[in-house]
């Protein structure tokens, strides 16, 4: 089972706050610093967004039960509440003074969602509804939601725009779409300023100064980290599912986005959130890369040969998934700063060598 952030039955709530040397509380930083709750802030994307929010001078409380989040990914200058998103009302009280919520906590394994759908509905949808209820009761004005490109299913048009048909092919995508719909209703009925960001394939790592935050799921299901495991000798070979698709080299085409670019979009979305509106943006590179192109870049960056085995197609895998992020560029002013595969694989490999291999 793969979990990201808050889940059910996490036991008693535990709070921890550690101030690093030289940290200036957001309330003393001046400017437009605000108090924010980040759910799933010990996960890959949530931890990077938390770091950027703190660096921008905001006060951050992380809600994460650490079932699959990593304690070492928690920002030491944030407050950590170890609890489920179902218990968010205990943190989001009317007198707590939160200015916004960024919601990442969810189950994310699409395959597992088809064999254990009840877990996904209970966590991703019921848990998110509990969070939305808490947001409303506490009078929190803004919410940014981590949605997914999985809401589109097999696309009928490329590149995929926000107005494309929503027809998820797995329970994971359906649970995320349900939350998107709930946020639209909440904005209309109660004036919430809501933004959903629909990600495509997130990669890379956030490396700045002494900070290194990267991807490490257990089990790992994403192509780039699996390829790095093969390059490091942790796996025997890399499987590519299908080489007879109608693409330039017969393998699937996917849109990749660097985690640092993705994180910056969340800060822009927080600023752009408008009362009574639910805005939705796709976030992708806009350029697709085939699986074989990913393999070639991993070989180049790591200097290792990557044994590859072609396996049969997986049922339901579309030939091509590429995002149109034009709306995010136009309305948020968002422009990816690390758009190349070399950027993403290079940062991911640097993180993997220093924080996975050396610490295992």
Cα 187 to Cα 277: distance, rounded to the nearest angstrom? 5
Distance in angstroms (rounded) separating the CA atoms of residues 340 and 320? 18
Nearest to 297 by CA among 257, 349, 351, 261: 349
From 339, 321, 359, select the one nearest 214 (Cα to Cα): 359
Q: Which helix (H) or strand (E) holds 79?
A: strand 79-82
From residue 316, alpha-carbon distances to 249, 252, 302, 322, 330 in Å are 19, 12, 31, 16, 32
Angstrom distances, CA of residue 201 to CA of 118, 175, 289: 25, 18, 11
CB half-sphere exposure, 301, CA atoms < 13 A = 26
Q: What is the pLDDT of residue 29?
A: 36
Angle of the 259-272 helix axis to the 44-55 helix axis, nearest 10? 60
Q: Is 189 exposed, middle or buried (0-12, 13-18, 19+ CB in 10 A)?
A: exposed
On whether the CB atoms of residues 304 and 223 are closer than 8 A, the answer is: no
pLDDT of residue 318: 83
The pLDDT of residue 109: 85
Domains of the chain, with CATH numbers? 3-202+258-283 (3.40.50.720), 206-255+287-323+338-357 (3.90.25.10)
172 is catalytic: yes
CA 58, CA 37: separation in Å to the nearest integer? Answer: 10
Token digits of residue 264: 């910056």
- Cβ atoms of 170 and 115 within 8 Å: the answer is no
Query: Which residues, in sequence order, are CB contacts of 271 under 8 Å at separation 6+?
Result: none
Cα 47 from chain centre: 9
* Separation of alpha carbons 254 and 310, rounded Å: 17
- Give dist(CA 204, CA 45) in Å, integer: 10
Q: Could you give the CA distance from residue 80 to residue 309 in angstroms, rounded to a whole number? A: 43
d(CA 192, CA 184): 9
pLDDT score for 227:
96
Q: Which of 131, 121, 116 is nearest to 40 (CA)?
A: 131
Confidence (pLDDT) at 288: 93
Per-residue model confidence (pLDDT) at position 360: 61
Find the distance separating the first CA and the last CA of the chain, reported in whole Å: 21
Tens of each residue's pLDDT in the chain, 360 residues: 333 333 323 344 444 433 222 333 333 334 468 999 999 999 999 999 999 999 999 999 999 999 878 899 999 999 999 999 999 999 999 999 999 999 999 998 888 999 999 999 999 999 999 999 999 999 999 999 999 999 999 898 999 999 999 999 999 999 999 999 999 999 999 999 999 999 999 999 999 988 999 998 777 788 999 999 999 999 999 999 999 999 999 999 999 999 999 999 999 999 999 999 999 999 999 889 999 999 999 999 999 999 999 999 987 788 899 999 999 999 999 999 999 999 999 999 999 999 887 766
Residue 151 half-sphere exposure toward CB, CA atoms < 13 A: 26
Under DSSP, the state recorded for 12 is: S
Q: State the alpha helices, DSSP H only, in the chain.
A: 44-55, 110-115, 117-120, 127-138, 171-190, 223-231, 259-272, 291-302, 326-332, 341-352
Catalytic residue among 172, 245, 256, 281: 172
Cα–Cα distance measured from residue 175 to residue 153, given in angstroms and rounded to the nearest whole number? 13
| CA gap 134, 146 in Å, rounded | 17
**Contact assessment for residue 193 and residue 141, using Cβ atoms and an 8 Å cutoff:** yes
- Indicate the pTM of the whole model: 0.89
What span, in angstroms and rounded, lies between the C-alpha atoms of 35 and 97? Answer: 7
* The pLDDT of residue 210: 87
Tally of CB atoms within 10 A around 315: 7
């Amino acid at each position: 089972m793969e979990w990201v952030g808050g889940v059910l039955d996490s036991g008693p709530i535990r709070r921890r706050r550690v101030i690093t040397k030289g940290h200036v509380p957001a309330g003393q930083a001046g400017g437009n610093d605000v108090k924010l709750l980040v759910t799933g802030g010990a996960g890959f994307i949530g931890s990077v967004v938390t770091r950027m929010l703190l660096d921008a001078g905001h006060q951050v409380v992380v809600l994460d039960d650490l079932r699959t989040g990593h304690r070492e990914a928690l920002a030491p200058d944030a407050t950590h509440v170890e609890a489920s998103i179902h218990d968010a009302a205990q943190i989001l009280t009317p007198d707590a003074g939160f200015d916004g919520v960024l919601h990442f906590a969810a189950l994310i394994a699409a395959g597992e969602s088809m064999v254990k759908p009840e877990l996904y509905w209970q966590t991703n949808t019921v848990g998110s509804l509990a969070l939305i209820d808490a947001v409303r009761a506490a009078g929190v004005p803004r919410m940014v939601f981590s949605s997914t490109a999985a809401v589109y299913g097999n696309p009928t048009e490329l590149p995929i725009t926000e107005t494309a048909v929503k027809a998820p092919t797995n329970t994971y995508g359906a649970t995320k779409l349900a939350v998107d719909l709930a946020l639209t209703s909440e904005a209309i009925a109660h004036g919430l300023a809501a933004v959903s960001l629909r990600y495509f394939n997130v990669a890379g790592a956030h490396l700045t100064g002494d900070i290194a935050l990267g991807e490490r799921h257990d089990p790992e299901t994403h192509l780039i980290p699996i390829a790095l495991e093969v390059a490091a000798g942790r796996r025997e070979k890399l499987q590519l599912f299908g080489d007879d698709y109608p693409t330039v080299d017969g393998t699937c085409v996917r849109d990749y986005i660097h985690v640092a670019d993705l994180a910056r979009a969340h800060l822009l979305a927080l600023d752009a959130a408008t009362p009574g509106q639910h805005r939705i943006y796709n976030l992708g590179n806009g350029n697709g890369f085939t699986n074989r192109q990913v393999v070639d870049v991993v070989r180049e960056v790591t200097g290792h040969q990557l044994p590859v085995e072609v396996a049969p197609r997986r049922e339901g895998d579309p030939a091509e998934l590429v995002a149109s992020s034009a709306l995010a560029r136009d309305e948020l002013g968002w422009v990816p700063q690390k758009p190349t595969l070399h950027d993403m694989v290079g940062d991911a490999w640097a993180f993997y060598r220093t924080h996975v291999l050396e610490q295992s």
